[in-house]
Chains A and B, each alone.
Chain A
Amino acid sequence: MTDILHIALEVDGAGQHPAAHLLAPHTTPATPPGRPGVTPDAHRVRTVTAAAENAGVTFVTFDDSLTPAPGRAAHRIDAVTRAAFVAPLTSRLGLVPLVHPAVTEPFHVASQLAALDHASRGRAGWLVGTGPVPGARRALDRPVADGEDLVAETVDVVTVVRDLWDSWDDDATIRDTATGRYIDRERLHYVDFASGGDGPFASPALRSAPDGARAPFTVKGPLIVPRGPQGQAVVVGRVGTVPGALLDVALVPDLADVDAARGDGVARVLVDLTVTLDAAGTPGTARRDQLDALVPGTTTGLAYTGDAAGLVALLLDLRGVVDGVRILPSVLDDDLPVLVRDVLPALRVARAVPVPRPGATLRDTLGLPRPASRFAATA
């Protein structure tokens, strides 16, 4: 642990408050003049991530779900696709989309995030989705692990994804003109992964399998994507749903959970903090009341309501307690401008946050080592 505080930011949709998406957007989603083909979706993700990067945020997360989620706008595009879109438009910001291990094929998870790591030159992370996905079983026409099974499934999927990221040694592409070999096949590895689970094995049997049954699976490898700049994308998740040993960054809902995460051996622990700031002349408390009047917000977890100076003080106090804070803005359009204008600059002045360098990988910024491949020969 250091005295540096990493600031992460959730940038999905209109904001974290379940009423946020019901407010009229303040920023115009219209196509800016002279930018043909720039859609509202593109404009939104582009401007929000640019603001986060300029403010010195370490990484942004992109929440997601296969099916509509309560309290969120009905229209939501795939998180990996959003993260990939902004990869060439940013140069310092970590990009951490949510992908659910029980929903997306493990082989596709590994390929997509490895591709994101290449496209972003080493700024990819994976926010491991947790919890049941309503409707996924019917949408996917196969059993989707739930409850206890979901924890075991998550362990298996994170493990095989990490195996696949290691299935190419860093120096596997040799381009040896003397022998005509593009790769050294000794430096690629079959992962031969077999999951746990005791449900029926393969479809079409999967279709009639009982709900919640855990269908075992195997993955041969190697990955189709060579090893990324970071070796492994940064794996971000909740302790309790993913064993700490499989995580690079743990997100905890409250300060009471920090010790458990540390005990689990996670290198970086970030606490989630919902913020509702004084914005545009309206006190945060009044904004929260207005939002709660539309749809009552949740009362669990760490939350801050008030002015920017108070938030700065709170964050400075968290130095040495946690490695960082993931800020969940109640309404992005209202809270992000205050974070960018008043909060992050004050943290920078206090030397409390890292200043990500252009070209640095997310691992560099987080101070995490680049892992060696588990399969690479140690000759």
Chain B
Amino acid sequence: MTDRFPHAHVHLGVFFQGVNHSTIWSDPASGSQLDFETFRQVVQTAERGLFDAFFLGEGLRLREQNGLLHDLDVVGRPDAITQLAALAAVTTHIGLAATQNVTYNDPADLARRLASLHALSGGRAAWNIVTTDNAWTGENFRRGGWLHHSQRYERAAEFVQAAQAIWDGFGSTVRYAASTVELEVQPTVELADHPVLFQAGDSPDGRDFAARHAEVIFSAHGTDFDDALGFADDIRARLRAAGRPEDDIKVLPSTQFILAATDEEAREKARWVKEQQVTPATALSLLGQVWGEDLSSYDPDGPLPAHDPAITQVSETRGSPRPGADPRAVARAWRERAEAEHLTIRQLVLAQDRQRGFVGSVESVADELVRWVRSGATDGFNITPWLVPTGLDDVVDLLVPALQERGAYRTEYTSTSLRDHLGLRAPVPHRAVLVGA
């Protein structure tokens, strides 16, 4: 197969703290998930590996299951922009991306904080726009659960337009009025350009929002090639429909890398990683989500519950979106598989937990990554290390040189701006929405 993009390079980012049970905290090599030194080590390792960006997620309420704080995964994280400002001081080139939602932030306040990070870091800030709108998170904020789910991307679009007007409007009075955002403010931060706009949200509305406003998509399509290519083609089509060039958005899926000397060793390591991620307690918790009840007193090495779930929708661990499904059907399928293959609860959950990301020798993973970007399936990858702070070491020390040998990875930074690292165009001025400046 000939490459659609024969000269494409792989862009790498690191997504720190991951989600759900992706981070193994029980391993002796797992460090503090909170100490500044851990963050410093991860970001400096990524910068040594010439990554495009270091990336922090956001969750403004601690997750719960069955009305109790979820206690099995890493809990607790710093405020993203505050932490990135500190990390800006100990780095010189790498981009610094903060996930920030549009429902529980004030546009004038958030635009100013992002502009501040951008100004201090010399053009390295990015904003990952998310729409987290649930009223449950709203219980921590003045406005409460004020926004209807159907309005989340309307608010996102208006919020982004207002922010762009503020970034462009230094020295004037910015007025913006729409259905969910109305403001008048004199901006206090002078910028040469804008923070880079990332988007993470997979619904059709989310994809259309990205096609109109985003410059990078942090996607969930980072394991299966055909799935990733389908997503990228869908985004290209939406970009065309929105009147933008097809290459106006870079797609960086969330993924994990499991590397070893040989493919066989890597598969062995992947099995080990998954067993560490899905602890006995986590297996019972995941099963409990399907059954909609607390199953923590079950024996993880014993059989599945004999009774059917009483609930009609798979309950989510609050704060982490999960697709709704018919729990009785899921439970029946899981029980049938467990019986047919003689699996205990934990074995069944491990078998159901699809292998995420890339598993293989350095050489074969490097080949795979180059194939992905040169076929247009992605522009790069946002790596969630399953171990911190050392989980990026083999990526930087082994995989990056292998990509460089293939002519598919930068050998030095050529700029200190994230926009330049990603090969993005300069932002279009948004003075159009300025009224009476």
Contacts and interface: CB of A to CB of B under 8 A. Distances in A.
Given A85-B120, A105-B142, A107-B141, A184 B183 contact: no
Contacts of B186: 67-68, 135
Identify which of B34, B83, B106, B120 gathers the most chain A CB atoms within 10 Å of its CB: B120
Contacts of A119: 36, 78, 82-83, 86
A37 B104 CA distance: 32
Contacts of B212: none
Contacts of A104: 109
A218 B76 contact: no
Nearest to A184: B71
Interface stretch (A139-147, A246-254, A271-279, A288-296): A139-147
Interface string B108-123: 1100110111011111
Nearest to A86: B89
A41 B119 contact: yes
A168 B76 contact: yes
A37 B72 contact: no
B225 interface: no
A36 interface: yes
Size bracket of the B interface: 35 or more
B59 A75 contact: no
A81 B85 contact: yes
Interface string B28-62: 00000011100010000000000000000001111
Contacts, number: 227
Contacts of A222: 62, 69
Contacts of A182: 25, 71-75
Interface string A98-129: 00000111111001101110111100000000
A118 B119 contact: no
Given A81-B116, A105-B106, A135 B142 contact: no
A181 B72 CA distance: 5
27 contacts: A37-B122, A66-B112, A67-B188, A75-B170, A76-B189, A78-B189, A81-B82, A88-B89, A103-B109, A115-B78, A118-B35, A118-B36, A135-B184, A135-B185, A141-B181, A180-B26, A180-B280, A181-B71, A181-B72, A183-B71, A183-B75, A201-B144, A202-B143, A204-B146, A206-B143, A222-B62, A225-B78
Interface of B: 25-26, 34-36, 40, 59-62, 68-69, 71-79, 81-83, 85-90, 92-93, 104-106, 108-109, 112-113, 115-117, 119-124, 139-146, 170-171, 181-186, 188-190, 279-282, 416
- Name the 7 nearest CB pairs between A and B, nearest first: A180-B281, A37-B416, A115-B78, A37-B122, A84-B85, A77-B116, A78-B116
Interface of A: 35-39, 41-42, 45-46, 65-68, 74-78, 80-82, 84-89, 103-108, 111-112, 114-116, 118-121, 135, 138-142, 168, 173, 175, 177, 179-185, 188, 201-204, 206-207, 215, 217-222, 224-226
Given A168-B76, A183-B76, A201-B144, 4 more contacts: A88-B36, A142-B106, A203-B143, A221-B140
